[in-house]
Copies of this chain bind each other. A is one copy, B any other.
Amino acid sequence: MPTILDIAEYAGVSSATVSRVINSSGYVGEETRKLVEEAIEKLNYSPNKNAQHLRKGSTKNFGIISTQFNDTAVARINSFITTAYSFGYTTTLFVTNGDKKREVEAFDLLKSKQIDGIFLIYRANDWSVLEKYAAFGPVVTLHNVDSEQIPSVFIDHYEGHKLALEYLWETGCRHIYNLYGTATGLNTKRRIQAYHDFCDAKGIPPHPSDPFIHTISAGKVDAFVSWFLKQQTRPDAVVTHSDSIAALVVSRLRRKGIAIPEEVSVIGFDNIDVSDVMDMSTIDYGIEEQGRNACRLLLQKLAKPTDALGPLSFKLIQRKTTR
């Protein structure tokens, strides 16, 4: 891959002259220009696209960074991409698989202006590593981060979880069981808190959070179903942290002959497509609006015209998996 320096050497001119020819800036004599153009052709040099973007100061491209790529991430990514496109921006998605180095490389593209802004979904590095990048361009996150530089489209799962619990209680459920998400996640901590506060208010003893914390796979749902079938007094309601997991719970319990909602109510979270086609009750909070808001916040930070932020609020969606 030839550089400007190679072109300069081949053409017998200075690299500054090559730069002037490539950028069509400043005066270059006709003879000299020809020499440079010949060298460019001969060495098959292609001026760096990114360098050209640099000069314009914008690539009209946003980056989405996520450690993983699951159904819930996909719903947000989709609405972000669509919104960005409607404002003339394309989107590049970096899936880091939790690789810290790879995440930093993606953030470096903001520094070198190869992307105009970043929507960080799930992160690999500590905030201390990432937050300094906000100086180079707008960063929006899904995480609950206390930062003036980095706005967040975070929602507090406490309220959503509480809404599900209260609704199940109202419909007569008295043995509510909770399936929690990622063991280390803040959302899980907030959900456990909501459950304990709920139990305090109702004067009932809480069940232990283990062993069905980190219920994020089909295997763990199968383990839960086996446990469920063995109980003398079975739960009469199951609260989950995502529609994907709720769909597995409904499907696996029904295969074992358990009637839903007659024997047990099941409620999801997110209100993504699968809850619609399965007629599952769930908690909606505007997951697509969350993706759109992330994009609007980036555009605001870039002082571009955009729509006002849409509201994110918890709403119970009653369908057919609860009484």
Chain A interface residues toward B at CB < 8 A = 1, 3-5, 15-16, 19, 46, 48-51, 54, 69, 71, 74, 77-78, 81, 85, 90-97, 99, 102, 105, 108, 111-113, 244, 247-248, 250-251, 254-255, 273-274, 276-279
Distance in angstroms between the alpha carbons of A91 and B71 in the assembled complex? 18
Q: Which residues of B contact A95 (CB under 8 A)?
A: 81, 90-93
Whether A90 and B81, one on each chain, are in contact in the complex, defined by CB atoms closer than 8 angstroms, is no
Whether A108 and B277, one on each chain, are in contact in the complex, defined by CB atoms closer than 8 angstroms, is no
Distance in angstroms between the alpha carbons of A71 and B16 in the assembled complex? 50
Q: Is the interface of A mostly helix, strand, loop or mixed?
A: helix
Whether A1 and B69, one on each chain, are in contact in the complex, defined by CB atoms closer than 8 angstroms, is no
Whether A90 and B96, one on each chain, are in contact in the complex, defined by CB atoms closer than 8 angstroms, is yes
User: Would A112 and B49 be within 8 Å (CB), given that A69-B77, A102-B90 are in contact?
Assistant: yes
CB distance from A74 to the nearest CB of B (A): 6
Can you tell how many copies of this chain the complex includes? 2
Q: Which residues of B contact A71 (CB under 8 A)?
A: 273
Q: Which residues of B contact A3 (CB under 8 A)?
A: 19, 51
Whether A49 and B108, one on each chain, are in contact in the complex, defined by CB atoms closer than 8 angstroms, is yes
Whether B276 and A274, one on each chain, are in contact in the complex, defined by CB atoms closer than 8 angstroms, is no
User: Would A90 and B97 be within 8 Å (CB), given that A274-B274, A277-B247, A277-B278 are in contact?
Assistant: yes
Whether A90 and B85, one on each chain, are in contact in the complex, defined by CB atoms closer than 8 angstroms, is no
Distance in angstroms between the alpha carbons of A71 and B81 in the assembled complex? 15
User: Would A97 and B85 be within 8 Å (CB), given that A113-B1, A277-B247, A277-B278 are in contact?
Assistant: yes
Q: Which residues of B contact A108 (CB under 8 A)?
A: 46, 49
CB distance from A76 to the nearest CB of B (A): 12
Whether B92 and A99, one on each chain, are in contact in the complex, defined by CB atoms closer than 8 angstroms, is no
Contact sample, A vs B, 25 pairs, CB 8 Å cutoff: A4-B4, A4-B15, A5-B15, A15-B15, A46-B108, A46-B111, A46-B112, A48-B50, A49-B105, A49-B112, A50-B50, A69-B78, A81-B95, A90-B97, A91-B95, A92-B94, A92-B95, A93-B93, A93-B94, A93-B95, A247-B274, A250-B277, A251-B277, A273-B274, A274-B277
Q: Which residues of B contact A111 (CB under 8 A)?
A: 46
Whether A112 and B1, one on each chain, are in contact in the complex, defined by CB atoms closer than 8 angstroms, is yes
Q: Which residues of B contact A51 (CB under 8 A)?
A: 3
CB distance from A111 to the nearest CB of B (A): 6
CB distance from A51 to the nearest CB of B (A): 8
Taking A48-B112, A93-B94 as given, write out 14 further A-B residue pairs in contact, using a Cβ cutoff of 8 Å, ordered by the A residue number: A1-B54, A1-B112, A3-B19, A4-B15, A49-B105, A50-B50, A69-B81, A74-B74, A81-B95, A81-B97, A92-B94, A247-B274, A251-B279, A254-B279
Q: Which residues of B contact A250 (CB under 8 A)?
A: 277
CB distance from A245 to the nearest CB of B (A): 10
